[in-house]
Amino acid sequence: MTTVAVAMAPFKGALAAGAATRAVAAGVRLAAPRVATVQVPVADGGEGTLDALVSAAGGRRRALTVADPLGRPVEAALGELPNAIAVVELAQASGFERLTDAERDPEATTTRGTGELIRAALDLGARRIVVGLGGSATTDGGLGLARALGVRALDAEGRELEGRGADMARVARLDLSGRDPRLDDTVVQVACDVDNPFHGPRGAARVFGPQKGAGPAAVERLDAGLAALAAVVREATGADLQALPGAGAAGGAAGGLAALLGAQLTPGAALVLEALDFGRRLEGAALCVTGEGRLDETSLAGKAPAAVAAACRAAGVPCVALCGQVALGPGAVRRAGFAAALAIGRGPLPLPDALEATERDLAAAGAAVAGVWAAGRGAAAD
C-alpha cells in the first residue's frame, strides 16, 4: 500500500503538533482514500517537544506539582517513554506563559521547577532525559534547576542563594558535594537550537532578556551576573561556559545544564527526529508533508520542518511544507529540500480568525496536496 508520512510541527497559538498532524492526515485520506498515512508529530526542542515525543513513542504524560518561575506550586507534566527515557520541557514549569505581564521579571524568576522535573524523572528510573528549552521566563544561568538537584550556590558569607536571576552576581562559590549522584549514570540531552553565548552582546541577557520583561538596567545587571557566574562555574568545574555555543539558551539554563549536570547540548530538531527514529518511519513513504506556522529564514536554522526536509532528501522522499505563512522564495524552498511550500490560508482573515481556522485549513491543504499528488501517480494512489 502507498504510504504518505505526515510530520507537522506546532502551529504556535493555534494547534499542537499532534493536532496539526492529524488534520493533514485526515485531508490526505479524504483525497486519496487508499493511501496509508504514517503520523509523526515533530518539534525542535521548544514547546511541543514533550507532546511530540510522547505521541510518537507511545509514552505517557505524568502530572507533578513543582515550582513555577516565582516559586509557587504549579502542575507540570513530564513525559515517560519506553526504554527508560524521560522528556522534560522547560516551559512546563519555568515557562513565560506561566506568568502574567506584571509578573515577568527575569531577575526574580528561577528554573527550580525544571530541576524538580528532572529529579522526578530520575526518581522514575530514567536513564536518558531529553530536555527541551523553549519558552523560558528565566535568566538564572541554570542556578535554580541545579539547586533542585543538590548544587548549592553560596554567597561571600557562605549563605545559600535561592537561584533566581538576581542571585547570579552574588555567587561566590559553588558546592557540588550534594549533586545528585544519579546524574553520573544518566544521559541528559538538551535540545538547543540557538548558538548564543552565555553572556555578552549576543548572550542570554542582552538578546532574550527584554522579551522576558527586563528593562535596560536589568539587562545590564543580568549580563554582569552571567559573566560573574561563568567565572565561578569555571573555578568549580573547569568548564568555560562562554566558549560553549548555545550556552545562553533559555536564559543560560543550557550552560548550567551542561556545566553543572553534565548535559550534552544537541541541535533540537535533530535530537527530536533521532528520538522519534524518524528515518525508520520514512521507510516506504512515497511523500512526506510537514510544516509550521511560518516558514522563513529562521526555519532553515535548525527548525523542525527543515530537519524533516533534510531527512527526506537523504531518504529520497519528496517533502511538501504546509504553513500558515511562507516567507521564502522558490529558490530557498528548493535549496532547503522542499518540493514545494504552500500557505494554507484560503482568504484574507484577521489573525484571530486565521488561527481559529488553522485545523480546517490544514485538512483542506492536505487534501489538495494529496489530490494533485495522487492524480500524478494514477490509480495506484486512488
Average pLDDT (219-231) is 98
Grid cell 551542561 is found at 258
User: Residues 261, 149: contact at Cβ < 8 Å?
Assistant: yes
| Residue-level pLDDT at 203 | 97
φ/ψ bin of 333: left (φ > 0), alpha (ψ from -120 to 50), beta (otherwise): alpha
- How many other CB atoms are there within 10 angstroms of residue 269's CB atom? 28
Other CB atoms within 10 A of residue 335 CB: 11
Q: How far apart are CA 273 and CA 254, in angstroms?
A: 20
More confident residue, 201 or 45: 201
Grid coordinates given for 274: 533521532
Distance CA 137, CA 109 (A): 7
Q: Over 70: is that where the pLDDT of 382 sits?
A: no
Q: With bands split at pLDDT 50, 70 and 90, how would you rate the model's confidence at 346?
A: confident
Closest Cα partner for 40 from 267, 312, 302?
A: 312
44 in Cβ contact with 193 (< 8 Å): yes
In the chain, the domains with their CATH numbers are 3-42+287-381 (3.40.50.10350), 49-269 (3.90.1510.10)
Q: pLDDT band for 379, please (50, 70, 90 cuts).
A: very low
Spell out the alpha helix ranges (H) of the chain. 17-31, 49-57, 90-94, 112-123, 143-148, 216-237, 253-261, 268-275, 278-282, 304-315, 330-335, 351-356, 358-377
Q: What is the mean pLDDT of the chain?
A: 93
Percentages (nearest 5) of helix, strand, coil residues in the chain: 45, 20, 35
Q: Are 234 and 114 in contact (CB under 8 A)?
A: no
For residue 378, pLDDT over 70 is answered with no
> What is the model's pLDDT at position 157?
97
Whether 137 shows a pLDDT value over 60: the answer reads: yes
Q: How far apart are CA 16 and CA 14, in angstroms?
A: 7
pTM of the entire structure? 0.85
Residue 56 has pLDDT above 80, yes or no: no
Give residue 13's pLDDT band: very low, low, confident or very high (50, 70, 90).
Answer: confident
